[in-house]
Copies of this chain bind each other. A is one copy, B any other.
Amino acid sequence: MSGLVLVIEDEVDLATTLEYNLRSEGFQVRLAHSGRQGLAAATSDPTPDVIVLDLMLPDLAGTEICRRLRETDRTRETPVIMCTAKGEEIDRVVGFEVGADDYVVKPFSVRELILRIRALMRRVQRGEGEPSLIRFGRLKIDRDAHRAWVDDTEIGLTALEFRLLHAFLSRRGRVQTRDALLSDVWGIDADVTTRTVDTHVKRLREKLGDAGAYIETLRGVGYRFKGEPEEATETSV
């Protein structure tokens, strides 16, 4: 599970430490060293998946930031973890009143912070978003159960194949270059040949049987999952 974490923290040392640790755990990181920067960073693309917020900032109080995040549509659902120093109990309480989702007390263990970030991401990921079931023509996949069917017959996909199919399904109708697929399915730092994608597309098509035709090859560009189930193979253009 990768994800983008925004760290709003004015102590540069601490911020850098967190950045390093989070990256080495596979997260992407965006840093902000002041409250205003933080607010801007929270609403720029892409929206962070989790925000780590220091309570004591030079310009804006963490509580105030949190309140504004909750008033903004883009960040209303984004989980916030508050960092408080010891002795800030009262503010800490207020922090929760304002809608932080969890907190850690300084000095905190980085490992604990990461665990809490992970827990929040898990909760949100399945949360209110799109339903776990995705149907497309003769295809059906269930993300929670991690299962896939063609014509109501379950097909056994490996973890990678499942991610690949999901990537196709969630971007159906749009071309995806091999590089794009690599970073989506394999992860940012995948040191893998682009040809590997070919192999796995082949395996996926095989397992999908007839439904494998949903995956089109665009010579010189990449792959494209059909936009509509009935879309004729030769129509278009």
Q: Given that A112-B107, A119-B112 are contacting pairs, would A20 and B97 also be in contact in the complex, using a CB cutoff of 8 Å?
A: yes
Cβ of A146: which chain B residues have Cβ within 8 Å of it?
A: 175, 218, 221, 224
Q: Are B174 and A92 in contact (CB under 8 A)?
A: no
Q: How many residues of A contact B (CB 8 A)?
A: 55
Flag A160-190 by CB within 8 Å of B: 1 or 0 each.
1010000000000111010110010000111
Copies of this chain in the oligomer: 2
Q: In the assembly, what is the distance between CA of A146 and CA of B175, in Å? A: 7
Which residues of chain A from 203 to 220 have a CB within 8 Å of any chain B CB? 218-220
Q: Are B159 and A220 in contact (CB under 8 A)?
A: yes
Cβ of A229: which chain B residues have Cβ within 8 Å of it?
A: none
Q: Are B20 and A189 in contact (CB under 8 A)?
A: no
Q: Are A96 and B17 in contact (CB under 8 A)?
A: yes
Cβ of A196: which chain B residues have Cβ within 8 Å of it?
A: none
Cβ of A122: which chain B residues have Cβ within 8 Å of it?
A: 177, 179-180, 183
Cβ of A107: which chain B residues have Cβ within 8 Å of it?
A: 112
Cβ of A159: which chain B residues have Cβ within 8 Å of it?
A: 218-221
Give the residue name and chain of the B residue nearest to A159 (CB). Answer: B220
A102-B111, A112-B189, A153-B236 given; 14 more Cβ-contact pairs under 8 Å:
A13-B93, A16-B89, A16-B93, A17-B103, A20-B93, A24-B99, A111-B120, A115-B183, A118-B183, A122-B177, A145-B227, A146-B175, A154-B236, A158-B219
A-B contact pairs, 16 of them (CB 8 A): A13-B89, A13-B93, A20-B93, A24-B96, A101-B111, A103-B110, A109-B119, A111-B119, A112-B188, A118-B183, A119-B183, A122-B179, A144-B175, A145-B174, A146-B224, A153-B237
